Structure 1
Amino acid sequence: MVMEHGTDKTGPARDDVMKRQLRGQLTAERSLRTDEQRELQPAGEDQPVAAWSPESDFRGGTPSGMTEQDVGLRSELAQHLGRSLYPADKNTIIETLRRNNAPDRLVTMAERLPAHERFGNVQSIAEAVGIHTEHRRT
């Protein structure tokens, strides 16, 4: 009569044989850790601190002349406008924001744009509505 060992498909004798075969690999005369030069290095002191979670506030990496809120607002504006819009005038920008279900605050901001001006990119729109932009290097 053959005894069942639950979900184990091998018996106790086969388990002992397998343990002996693996013992050499488990107690190898080698380091089980990675080489020191292959371990991840901590970020340098001059590097910005990254946020640990996508839901957290944006930290570090903000260009000089901008706040975290400015970067987030400009990024959100760019997401709702897309890339194929430019050059665009005020009405086209407002229509695109509404079509892409942008928040009301972005539409209200776009309504403050000058009427007879064409904008070549998000940067020029941000400057026109008063969002701080990064300082250019000279």
Structure 2
Amino acid sequence: MSEGMERASSKHSPRVDEQMSQEVSGLVQGPGTGGSRVEEHRVPEPAGEDQPETTTAPAGELRTGAPKGMSSQDVERRSRLGRFITMSALPGDREALIANARDNEAPDDIVAQLQGLPEGIRYQTVSEVWAALGNKNETTRW
């Protein structure tokens, strides 16, 4: 969903919002005829291509590009880094991250990157580690 769509309701008067809300609820609830239409809505649908399912993106799965400020290669490399740093290591400093990556059988290049982190800093997220390694995160987070 684009940013414009998320904020659309703030651009209408309360009366138009109410009217739109009724139109949407009619669409969501269906015509009320019962039968199979109601059951349809109870079946969970898989996430669409534009909806995130997991934090890691397997190679070749990035169909719609990357978040603003990152290339698809950046996304894949950060995702790969995140596979070797588990939540149990965060927040953590350089030594904790290196130990965790080794526990997760990280390849030498990942361990070497982590060894280049400055000492004495505790990182809260993989994105913070990624940025500390000199890489860019999404610009929309700021």
* TM-score where L is the length of structure 1: 0.56
Q: 1:124 aligns with which of 103, 128, 133?
A: 128
Q: 2:99 matched to 1:95?
A: yes
RMSD across aligned C-alpha pairs, in angstroms?
2.5
Correspondences of 1:1-80 after superposition (within 5 Å): 56=60, 58-80=62-84
Identify unmatched segments of 5+ residues in structure 2. 1-47, 51-57
Q: 2:98 matched to 1:105?
A: no
In structure 2, what is the Cα distance between the partners aligned to 1:78 and 1:127? Answer: 13
Change (3 A) 1:114 1:107: same
In structure 2, what is the Cα distance between the partners aligned to 1:105 and 1:89? Answer: 18
> Which residue identity does 2:112 align to in structure 1?
T
Q: 1:86 aligns with which of 81, 87, 90?
A: 90
Q: Deviations over 1:87-127 (max 9, x none)?
A: 10000101111111111111111111111100001011000
SS in 1 for 2:89: coil
**Would you tell me which structure has more helix in proportion to its own residues?**
2
> Which residue identity does 1:114 align to in structure 2?
P
Q: Aligned pairs, how many?
A: 89
* TM-score where L is the length of structure 2: 0.55
Identity value in percent: 34
* Preserved CA contact (<8 Å) 2:59 2:76: no
In structure 1, what is the Cα distance between the partners aligned to 2:91 and 2:141? Answer: 25
In structure 2, what is the Cα distance between the partners aligned to 1:137 and 1:93? Answer: 23
Larger radius of gyration: 1
